[in-house]
Structure 1
Amino acid sequence: MAGKSKRRWQLWASAAALVVAAVLLALILLPPETLAPPRPEVKSASLPHPVETPLPQPDRRKGADALAPLIEQATADKPAETRTSEDNPEAAVPAAPQVASLPPQPPKAATVPVAPVVPALHGEPAWKQNAQPSGPPGAQPMIAIVIDDMGLDRKRSAEVMTLPGPLTLSFMTYAEDLAKQTATGRAHGDEIMLHMPMEPQARHVDPGPNALVTGLDDEELKRRVAWGLGRIDGIVGVNNHMGSKFTESQPGMTIVLEQLRERGLFFLDSRTTPHSVGLATARQMGVPSVGRDVFLDNFMTDPEVARELAQSEAVARKNGVAIAIGHPHDATIAELRQWLPTVAAKGFRLVPVSAIVAREQAQAAHVAKTGG
């Protein structure tokens, strides 16, 4: 009996040792992320014509020396991480920088800052004063290329500013060194806009600091709009970053558009949702506005960007104008570098967005005057 008890004890001890060894082996072999709770995803940060002699454009090559320090500085930085944008499910955009690197956010109790307001010159609103010259409208269909998310990925943003233009560059409100970056864009003949973060439908997506979010009281929304508008001087207008939820809110968009109207700026609806009330509300309020027609880089491959550029041409032939929005991605930059020099020969006119806003305003005034 003693021998049987001893063997039974030895069997139990061996089984326990095997269990302990299996647990230790599992702890060693399992990847760390399976043991820790998942981290929330943070995002910022990504749709007949006679040939006419194109207007002379600024020689962008002359500014290469001015861009060199920007490119050199940005190249030394770690490449920006890319994540999927909620409002453009297939488009990767630079991730928002860590909170520690963001510009300080004004406290909620602070007085609403006053954004720069350009005095009216001979009755002209700020968007006309800050617009890049484009000349009178002609018979050629017009195409405007808007590059969003500017300023976060410094290397690629600087590369965008070497492309032949005029382009429209929309800088993120929370990008750093905005005065220097926007000055470089203007020096190369590009038009400057503000890219304002707004609430997306997906709750887990972070649109960035001081984003416009439904549920905030009116004063806080006004403060956030004013904070964003105060980040860049000399802009022509604003378009939404994300915002598939916020742009469906009439009360929220009314607050945004009231401040744009006060400052003489226009609104470009990025149309991240088919249910946006941005354009309709802007027109009711008398705020100049236009909407995006094409996203260039929902799929960030050269063939897909090329296909969307061809789609932009088709829209312009049909409607007389087309607004295409892209981002500072490698494929987008590469395809634009090949496509932009061909625009005039194809019978199109490359213009800043303000030229299309002016065309829409002139047509609306004609309809109001003649009744049709």
Structure 2
Amino acid sequence: MEPVGNGIDQPLGQEKARTHPLRRRLLPPGRLALLVLSLAVFGGSGAIALRERPFRDPPPPALSEPQVAGAVEAHTPREPAENKPASGAPGAAIIRVDPQAPPPGGNVVIVRDPSALGQNPRLAHLPDPALVEQSDVGPLPVRDAAGRRPFDVYARGWSGARGARIALLIGGLGISQTGTQEAISKLPSEITLAFAPLGNSLARWMRTARQEGHEVMLQVPMEPFGTPSGSTGKHMLRVAAAEEENLQKLRWMLARITNYTGIVNYTGARFTADRQAMDVLMGELGRRGLGYLDDGTSARSVAQEAALASGVPFAAGDAVIDAEGGRGAILERLDELERIARVRGFAVGTGSALTLTVDTVAAWAQEVTKRGIELVPVSAVAFDPERN
């Protein structure tokens, strides 16, 4: 018999069922179903979390078939970087737009013809055939059939930021072979270089300068007050000369090199003070799509008024950095440019390709950017009547 105490809690008339030892370890059916359901829910949540894009992020819309006109446009100051989408942004579209039209909103990648905006840096040493007019005196710069200007195509790009900027032009390249080589190799590419039309090996040096990233201008000798000096007299523009004579001289000088954005006066206090003479000069520059930099040495210059009347992009120098000898004097002029840039937003300086000037500017350029000032080409600070 079983002991009495073993069945004291068992209902009367019911015998205790015997359970197989293995079955004691299994969960009841209800708990087993609950466990299976929990595992299914947990597994589904994990799959959602581990997907590259959760279900709540809708798939990007299909791209319509684009009409590609060229490579994706590089950043230029006329189109700030914030208008460009991040690489791989969802919902990006590729559209074709007018190069002069304002950028549309939204996530878009703007595809433009690079030749409509500027030159490919890798081809910067090669003239754009559409911007060259063959003449008896050589290849002359000219607008193309679409209205593109050498001033735009040959301009060096810059950040487009609104901070303080300094444009610095170093002239006299081509006169001394050693000085020209040192200026091109030592100066940062943001410095604009100006070639003298009577220099040597100008085409070769222009190609080298452009390959190094420099923007290029051409110096044009103009009549000063007093007796003209040296070898510049033969080709110098003069107030008393006939209009056609000055134009012939000017075109001869313009044909010495290619791939430049405009001209800068060499001396010329008397010529730049004569409105009639300057109107002839600016009329030719405007037709050819070139800019003008006044070196700022003459307070009587009417260059700005004449340039704007002919639609010529214009800039004026604030200081000649090496008018006085010595490294200290050059640094003082560079400090002056920094003060002007911080107050006005930009400043323009000019100098010559002398060894002392080049070495001083090269060392200064390494420090000025650390002080929050951007070095830019002359074209970046020019006032352009066609765009303003």
Q: What TM-score, normalized by structure 2, do the two folds share?
A: 0.62
CA contact (8 A) 1:145 1:323 kept: yes
Partner of 2:156: 132
**160, 163, 173: which one aligns with 2:183:** 160
Distance in 1 of aligned mates of 2:345 and 2:145: 30
Deviations 1:100-147 (A, max 9, x none): xxxxxxxxxxx9746523443864321100111214x21211111101
Distance in structure 2 (CA, Å) of the matches to 1:364 and 1:130: 17
Instruction: Give the C-alpha shift of residue 335 in structure 1.
Output: 1.1
CA distance in 2, matches of 1:340, 1:278: 29
8 Å Cα contact 1:121/1:129 also seen in 2: no
Determine which of 348, 358, 364 is the counterpart of 1:333. 358
* Counterpart for residue 30 of structure 1: none
C-alpha separation in 2, matches of 1:261 and 1:146? 21
The Cα offsets for residues 183-231 of structure 1, whole Å up to 9 and x where unpaired, read as 1111111011000011110125344431101211111111001101111
Q: 1:260-339 to 2 correspondence within 5 Å?
A: 260-339=285-364
Partner residue in 2 for 1:26: none
SS of match in other structure, 1:300 = coil
- How many Å apart are 1:363 and its aligned residue? 11
* Residue 168 of structure 2 corresponds to residue 145 of structure 1: yes
- Among 183, 199, 205, the alignment partner of 2:229 is 205
Structure 1 residue runs of 4+, over 6 Å off? none
Q: Which residue of 1 aligns with 2:203?
A: 179
Unaligned runs of 5+ in 1: 1-52, 54-110, 366-372
Residue correspondences, number: 253
**Deviation for aligned residue 1:343:** 2.2
Question: Would the aligned equivalents of 2:296 and 2:317 in 1 still touch at CA under 8 Å?
Answer: yes
Q: Please, which runs of 5 or more residues in structure 2 have no aligned partner?
A: 1-80, 82-134
Distance 1:115 1:279, change over 3 A: farther
More helix, by proportion: 1
Matches within 5 A, 1:1-372: 113=137, 115-120=139-144, 123-135=147-159, 137-162=160-185, 163-203=187-227, 205-206=229-230, 207-357=232-382, 360-361=383-384, 365=388
Q: Is the 8 A contact 2:137 2:252 kept in 1?
A: yes
Conservation of the 8 A alpha-carbon contact between 2:141 and 2:254: no
The one of the two structures with greater contact order (alpha-carbon pairs below 8 A, sep at least 6) is 1
Q: CA deviation at 1:318?
A: 1.1
RMSD of aligned residue pairs (Cα, Å) = 2.1
Q: Which has the higher Rg, Structure 1 or Structure 2? A: 2
Question: Which whole-Å CA distance do the structure 1 matches of 2:222 and 2:207 have between them?
Answer: 25
